[in-house]
A and B are shown apart, each in its own frame.
Chain A
Amino acid sequence: MATQIIMPKLGMAMTEGTVVKWLKQDGEEVSKSEPVVVVMSKKITYTVEAPAAGILRIVAGPKETRAVGQVIGFILSPGESMPVVEMVPPPAPEAVAVEVREAAPPPPPPPPEAPREIRASPAARRLARELGVDLTRVRGTGPEGRITEADVQAYYDQQQVRATPLARRIAEEEGLDLSQIQGTGPGGRITEEDVLRALEGRKAPTPTLPKTIPFTGMRQAIAERMMESLHSMAQLTLTTRADVTELMGLRETLSQRWNVRLSYTDFIVKATALALKEHLTLNSSLVGEEIVLHEDVHIGVAVALEEGLIVPVIRQADRRSILEIHQIVQDLAERARKGDLSVDEVTGGTFTITNLGMYGIDVFTPIINPPEVAILGVGRIFEDLALVNGQIAVCSRVVLSLTIDHRIIDGAPAAAFLQTVVHYLEHPTLMFVP
């Protein structure tokens, strides 16, 4: 099919243009986008490229003037004949106007602006008056372009969106709804860039909003307690290692005998409870100007929950057997996960144990659970090499991290307590001595 080459519009004011010269001969083969003809408006010259590949046929020769949009040539497929063109007589030569003004040659005068008759519904007119909307600026969507009340409201709403004048003008001319565009300018103003992006159908790069978790309830309670703890105490963490090879064997034996699955925590609770009885300053609280030593040992065991953590308490832990401790811990942990614990079961502890061993942690610095004065952190059990009577042997070890409130407990007694815990763990049968 024949492709037209038309006189391009090179400026808003351009109505006609003149062919300066053809860069290709009539009948010559041209490829697409190859420059074929130079045309001229009153202001500039411009090279037109071939809109398609084929045989060039010239319609308007050099110096001929054509209105914008009129055909000046064709690109034909091989063998195709020239379409009939309605020839326009060239305009009569004009006398060159003497340039009076300092400006560039004036473009032809625009047609006088006829007073535009506005077709609008009475309701639209009333609303426009109320809102102060200029009806000449409203695009009508009713029958025959009649402006409806909804059109006035929509226009008014557009004007309420924060946008730069240029952005507003582009949206107006292109029929874009500003309220659907996200502004990136100062104060969230919609800018030219935003509107042009929307015009190209591209969405503004909306930043992925971070997810939020309400900072309330348990999270807030933990936050308050932990900050209170760190702000009110002089916390110091000591760490040591314990050889738990023997304990592992005992755990297996007892588990089989009692047909339960004992955990290390059960043993550590017991060992700690016994050690606390021997080092009561670790099982104390600071009340006013007195350090109160608690005779009863109530050990809290931290249980991780999805929304935070909770510390159920094993009362009189020192007096319980391993099996009892096991059963109590199991029960408390299970009910903790269900959210089924009573207030009494999570308060009144005198010492806390927290175990991160199952997460592969060795050493950490636990934060004391006030009003307690110490907390024991239990790490991972790992295989290690030991020298036994000059021979290398495989052993199992665990790292214990003890945080103390240095206002009440000094390093030496804390170390002594830790050594006692280690002693029980390394010689687990001692835990069964009545």
Chain B
Amino acid sequence: MTEIQALVVIGGGSGGFATAMRAAQLGGRVTLVEADLYGGNCMNRACIPTAFLMAAARQMQSVRKAGLFGIRTGEPEADLRALHERKDLLIEGLRMGTEQLLTEYGVTLLRGRGRLVARDGVEVDGQRIPARNIVIATGSVAAQLPVEGADLPGVMGTEEAIALREVPARMAVIGSQPWDLELAQFFHILGSQVTLIEPGPQLLPEADREVAQRLSKHLYDSGIAIRRGVAVEAIRQREDGALAVFLVNGQEVVADRVLAARRLPNSIGLGLQELGVRTERGAILVNDRMETSVPHIYAVGDVVAGPMWSHKANAEGIVAAENALGRASRMDYRALPRCVYTWPEVAWVGLTEEEALARDLEVTVGKFPVAINPYAMILEEGAGMVKVIAGRYGKVLGVHVMAPGAADLINTAAMAIMAEATVEELIHLIPAHPSIGEALVDAAMDVEKRSLHLPKWE
């Protein structure tokens, strides 16, 4: 291949896919280089398989709860072989769809490890591809926690945990990022005795404190042990073969498997330094046009600084592609949703109450407990809440949801923030009845102390 490409994208995950597709739509000649599997980490090893596992766990819970609805069943039993077969089939289908779409749009798919050799060229396994623009979308890589014993057998990253074909009797989870909570709940529902260890004061450190507390209480009530505010000293192998997680307060958590996962930007070995692409702690620095410090080189997704969300990579890819092909596009993170696929789901967009107060904003909060939302009552899923953080002029600063279907409901809130709707617009929304969305409108009304479904303020 000697033809000059308008765009060469390194990495065929969420960010790379969106970049390549958008660039092809705009008429560019595009090559997408992937060293492993198209669809990337999200589709093959993270978001999609985890969401599948959580859906499976939910099925199991539904069966257990069926009696509440007058349906008689026996105790459900997990068949992990069948579960993983089905999961792999799903992923394969998605991956095939991805490759097919890319091909249909005329994107050249090239397998191999891409490396930047010049400002206008990418080398893939010795082959040089000339390019006017380069987008780095190499994502992130799993890394061990910087803890003694993190390399012991039985200490897993998320990929191993997702692929695990057995249910460990005892499991310890170090950290409480979304994937930690999801996998903790999955194995707990399937029968593991799970202990969550979070060194900070709050599970889900980036979430609104009140919502995080509710989730924490819900997980605790369901039987997951939680150790908060205590760091891990070391993981050691016991004589009986089990693992022991030693905490700095002297306590010890015994487990057969330990989940200790974190991810780092995948920026090593790309030739970034030689070209002068600036990075900070491994993350590529970009501006809001997704441009790196070197002209015509862009970066998107987990490899750039910021939270690692597939939908963030996707949005960034579109911005990068548009700028590379001569449009003027800017990334706006104000309405970036976050979601955790625990049961019930937790999702949010915008600022937490703590962040808003720390910024000295005039803050008014409206809340509504999901426990009295009729649809949640029907579903017997009342553990959550909806919280609207409003600022001056009724500006919607943030919306936090812990409820069944939170990941979907949050899109409504994201729309409000993106379109600069105020609390007044949310109040005027007519939610379908019965639906979880009614709780969002009630929480918005509560900002003005006028929810029709809450007791009167004194």
A287 within 8 A of partner (CB)? no
Contact A191 B420 (CB under 8 A): yes
| B396: nearest chain-A partner, CB-CB | A166
| B417: nearest chain-A partner, CB-CB | A166
| B454: nearest chain-A partner, CB-CB | A101
Q: What is the interface of chain A mostly: helix, strand, loop, or mixed?
A: loop
| B214: nearest chain-A partner, CB-CB | A102
A-B pairs under 8 A by CB, number: 53
Chain B positions 127-172 with a Cβ under 8 Å from a chain A Cβ: none
Selected interface stretch from B43-51, B230-238, B360-368: B360-368
B422 surroundings in chain A (CB, below 8 A) = 165-166, 169
Chain B positions 344-367 with a Cβ under 8 Å from a chain A Cβ: 357, 362-365, 367
List of 10 A-B pairs having minimum Cβ-Cβ separation, nearest first: A164-B420, A166-B420, A102-B369, A170-B393, A169-B393, A103-B367, A165-B421, A12-B364, A166-B422, A165-B422
Chain A positions 106-122 with a Cβ under 8 Å from a chain B Cβ: 106-110
Q: Which of A97, A109, A165 contacts B420 (CB 8 A)?
A: A165
Whole-angstrom distance from the CB of A41 to the nearest CB of chain B? Answer: 11
B69 within 8 A of partner (CB)? no
What's the Cα separation between A5 and B67 when bound, in Å?
A: 63
Whole-angstrom distance from the CB of B436 to the nearest CB of chain A? Answer: 17
Q: What is the interface of chain B mostly: helix, strand, loop, or mixed?
A: mixed
Whole-angstrom distance from the CB of A196 to the nearest CB of chain B? Answer: 10
Output the residue of A103, A110, A166, A169 with the most chain B CB within 10 A: A166
What's the Cα separation between A167 and B425 when bound, in Å?
A: 13
B95 within 8 A of partner (CB)? no
On chain B, the number of residues with a Cβ less than 8 Å from chain A's Cβ atoms is 25
Given contacts A100-B455, A101-B454, A170-B393, whether A110 and B420 have CB atoms under 8 Å apart is no
A173 surroundings in chain B (CB, below 8 A) = 393
What's the Cα separation between A164 and B420 when bound, in Å?
A: 6
A109 surroundings in chain B (CB, below 8 A) = 449, 457-458
Residues of B within 8 A of A (CB): 357, 362-365, 367, 369, 371, 385, 393-396, 419-422, 424-425, 446, 449, 454-455, 457-458
Q: Which of B362, B365, B395, B458 contacts A97 (CB 8 A)?
A: B458
A388 surroundings in chain B (CB, below 8 A) = none
Output the residue of A12, A100, A102 with the most chain B CB within 10 A: A102
| A166: nearest chain-B partner, CB-CB | B420
Contact B364 A169 (CB under 8 A): no
Contact B458 A192 (CB under 8 A): no
A412 within 8 A of partner (CB)? no
| B425: nearest chain-A partner, CB-CB | A165
B446 surroundings in chain A (CB, below 8 A) = 103
A104 within 8 A of partner (CB)? yes
| A171: nearest chain-B partner, CB-CB | B393
Whole-angstrom distance from the CB of A277 to the nearest CB of chain B? Answer: 52
Whole-angstrom distance from the CB of A101 to the nearest CB of chain B? Answer: 7
Name 27 A/B residue pairs within 8 A (Cβ), A-sorted.
Answer: A12-B364, A44-B357, A97-B458, A100-B455, A101-B455, A102-B369, A102-B371, A103-B367, A103-B446, A104-B365, A106-B458, A109-B457, A109-B458, A110-B449, A164-B421, A165-B420, A165-B421, A165-B424, A166-B394, A166-B396, A166-B420, A166-B422, A167-B420, A169-B424, A170-B393, A191-B420, A192-B395
Contact A192 B420 (CB under 8 A): yes
Whole-angstrom distance from the CB of A398 to the nearest CB of chain B? Answer: 42
A13 within 8 A of partner (CB)? yes
